[in-house]
């Protein structure tokens, strides 16, 4: 994609409302795009170094099933934290743990050679969603926003015709649906 002169790196600013890129109503299947952005992951792995990644107990069990992965050292803390349920409603909160960082490099414990994720097929929902996250709106709707603490350098404000927000939203819906099927 050729970026035009008006392209600007996405600036989170102070106004949290500006972070929302789209709203999805799962009952009516209505998608409302609120922000025109262009994003394509370059695989730079900055997010695998800078972010703290929550892992639910269900995700942990799936990682444990992988061959050649010793997950027993992967948790930063055995004290569960509470994170919002990742679909539709935040009334129900679930337990999660944090993935440990490697000493010195501070990379995620699961980051392998050539910046490849060693648990890619079963990586946590938070990693699949990044640099976006969800905010429950009402019972059947969710807002999709740029992650409030995004370190990603590859989100750009663009004109509508250059935007791939809709494609991003479709991909996120597919991640949510497959996550719900696994629950
Ligand atoms: S920081 Fe952004 S571009 Fe880099 S791997 Fe993460 S999501 Fe992809
Ligand atoms: S689990 Fe994989 S994708 Fe997620 S932060 Fe770690 S290395 Fe990156």
For the chain, give every domain's residue range. 8-182
CA 43 to centroid of ligand 1, rounded, Å = 5
The mean per-residue pLDDT over the stretch 75-79 comes to 60
**Residue of 77 and 157 predicted with greater confidence:** 157
Is residue 17 pLDDT above 70, yes or no? no
Q: Give residues (CB < 6 A) around ligand 1.
A: 41-47, 130-131, 151-152, 154
Q: Which of 77, 169, 62, 172 lies closest to 123, judged by CA?
A: 62
pLDDT value, residue 71? 79
pLDDT tens digits, 120-171: 999 998 899 999 988 877 767 888 999 877 899 999 999 999 999 999 999 9
0.95 exceeded by pTM: no
CB 31 within 8 A of CB 22: yes
Question: Which residue lies with its CA nearest to atom 2 of ligand 1?
Answer: 152
Q: Which of 15, 18, 21 lies closest to 167, judged by CA?
A: 21
Least confident range from 1-5, 29-33, 140-144: namely 1-5
CA 73 to centroid of ligand 1, rounded, Å = 25
Q: Which ligand 1 atom lies nearest to the CA of residue 44?
A: 4
Mutate to test the pocket of ligand 2, among 43, 100, 105, 110 (most ligand atoms within 8 A of CB): 110
Q: How far is CA 146 from the centre of its chain?
A: 9
**Residue of 115 and 59 predicted with greater confidence:** 115
pLDDT value, residue 8? 47
pLDDT value, residue 82? 53
pLDDT value, residue 1? 45
The mean per-residue pLDDT over the stretch 171-175 comes to 92
Is residue 6 pLDDT above 60, yes or no? no
Q: What whole-number distance in Å separates Cα of residue 144 and Cα of residue 22?
A: 5
Q: Is the dihedral of CA 37, 38, 44, 48 positive or negative?
A: positive
């Amino acid at each position: 994609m050729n970026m035009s002169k008006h392209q600007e790196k996405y600036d989170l600013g102070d106004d949290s409302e500006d972070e929302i890129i789209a709203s999805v109503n799962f009952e009516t299947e209505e998608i409302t795009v609120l922000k025109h952005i262009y994003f394509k992951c370059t695989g730079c792995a900055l997010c695998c170094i800078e972010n703290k990644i929550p892992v639910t107990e269900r995700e942990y069990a799936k990682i444990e099933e992988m061959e050649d992965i010793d997950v027993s050292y992967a948790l930063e803390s055995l004290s569960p934290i509470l994170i919002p349920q990742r679909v539709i409603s935040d009334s129900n909160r679930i337990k999660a743990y944090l993935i440990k960082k490697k000493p010195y490099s501070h990379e995620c414990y699961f980051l392998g050679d050539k910046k490849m994720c060693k648990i890619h097929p079963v990586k946590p929902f938070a990693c699949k969603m990044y640099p976006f996250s969800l905010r429950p709106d009402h019972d059947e709707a969710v807002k999709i926003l740029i992650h409030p603490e995004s370190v990603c350098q590859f989100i750009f404000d663009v004109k509508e015709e250059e935007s791939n927000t809709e494609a991003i939203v479709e991909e996120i819906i597919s991640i949510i649906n497959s996550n719900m099927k696994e629950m």
